[in-house]
Amino acid sequence: MKAQGTIVAVCTGDRKGVRKRNVGEAQLKADWGIEGDAHAANWHRQVSLLAVESIDKMRQKGLNVGPGSFAENLTTRGIDLLALPVGSRVRVGSETELEITQHGKLCHERCAIYYAAGDCVMPREGVFARVVKGGVVRVGDAIEPVDDEE
């Protein structure tokens, strides 16, 4: 049985290193990322994903955080993002497909998110992807692994 999750927030921002805002839906462009987002470019970290379960861990530490607080683009629920191997693909909604390119990231310096939130979970639990097939992604959309046979 496939592990299926749900998109709980679609977040964008016009600057890197700051919290993003939940915009409800966004257009993803193949080999680019989310239109209008600061991280969109022809590189391997076009879209960032973070589980709301990870955000909840930070809330339990007393931090005032929510979807977008860690500059993630897609906040998910119910899917173990770190269990998705690099190179695997996930479908978001009916048409968008992402390829997992990286787990976590190295932060060379503390960003505004770290100072505002008191900690940053993205380096430990964030997942990054490139857009294989574009389309519109909305809050409430399913996110699930794509079988190799598909």
Quick one: pLDDT at residue 115? 66
Q: Is the pLDDT of residue 17 over 80?
A: no
Kindly tell me if the per-residue pLDDT of 1 is higher than 50.
no
6-15, 95-104, 118-127 — which is least confidently predicted? 118-127
Topology annotation, domain 5-145: M1 Pyruvate Kinase; Domain 3 (2.40.33)
Whole-number pLDDT of residue 106: 61
Mean per-residue pLDDT of the chain: 89
Lookup: tokens for 92: 């978001």
What is the per-residue pLDDT across 49-100, written as a single tens digit (0 to 9) for each? 999 999 998 888 788 889 998 889 999 999 999 999 999 999 999 999 999 9
Does residue 138 contact residue 23 with C-beta atoms inside 8 Å? no
What does the pLDDT read at residue 57? Answer: 87
Residue 135 structure tokens: 């389309």
Quick one: pLDDT at residue 2?
Answer: 61
% residues pLDDT > 70 (the chain): 85
Q: Say which residue, 123 or 29, is predicted with more confidence.
A: 29
Looking at the chain, the whole-number percentage of residues with pLDDT higher than 90 is: 68
Residue extents of the structural domains in the chain: 5-145
Q: Which whole-number Å values give the CA distances from 36 to 57, 73, 77, in the listed order? A: 29, 12, 24
C-alpha–C-alpha distance, residues 131 and 96, integer Å: 8
- Residue partners of 35: CB distance under 8 A and separation at least 6: 26, 27, 28, 29
